């Protein structure tokens, strides 16, 4: 399936974890990806994992990233992201999609 052919997806913080999994998922769907990150080592590792079409960019920010609880896992979250970005989710408006393994239901 190539839902994102001829599309460019920019993923900030995409050199590891959920961001990298999302980049891989978008590539699998045909997108050209641009991945940014602050850590040169993880950016270099991401460059090896992604296709030759991918672009990786380093950036610096003074803002501090908040920790993200991801009980659903990076791959599951990336699948949710690609679904929400696709035309398949065009009927979804004003909702929150929890990707936490059902923890919010407890």
Domains, the chain, ranges and CATH? 8-105 (3.40.50.720)
Distance of alpha carbon 77 from alpha carbon 52, whole angstroms: 24
pLDDT tens digits, one per residue of 52-82: 889 888 775 544 444 444 455 777 778 888 8
Residue 30 corresponds to which tokens in the numbers above? Answer: 């045909």
Residue 34 corresponds to which tokens in the numbers above? Answer: 């641009």
Residue pair 97/80 in contact (Cβ under 8 Å)? The answer is yes
Distance of alpha carbon 16 from alpha carbon 105, whole angstroms: 28
Residue 45 corresponds to which tokens in the numbers above? Answer: 């590792």
What's the whole-model pTM score? 0.61
Helix and strand numbers, DSSP H then E, in the chain: 3, 3
- pLDDT per residue rounded down to tens, the chain (106 residues): 689 998 999 998 889 999 999 999 999 999 999 998 888 899 999 999 999 889 888 775 544 444 444 455 777 778 888 887 888 877 777 666 777 666 665 5
User: What does the pLDDT read at residue 39?
Assistant: 86
């Amino acid at each position: 399936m190539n839902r994102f052919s001829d599309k460019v997806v920019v993923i900030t913080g995409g050199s590891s974890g959920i961001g990298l999994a999302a980049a891989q998922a978008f590539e699998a769907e045909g997108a050209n990806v641009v991945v940014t990150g602050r850590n040169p080592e993880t950016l270099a590792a991401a460059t090896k994992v992604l296709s030759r079409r991918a672009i990786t960019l380093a950036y610096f920010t003074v803002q501090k990233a908040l920790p993200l609880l991801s009980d659903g896992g990076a791959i599951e979250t990336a699948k949710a992201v690609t679904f929400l970005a696709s035309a398949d989710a065009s009927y979804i408006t004003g909702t929150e999609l929890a990707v936490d393994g059902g923890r919010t239901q407890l």
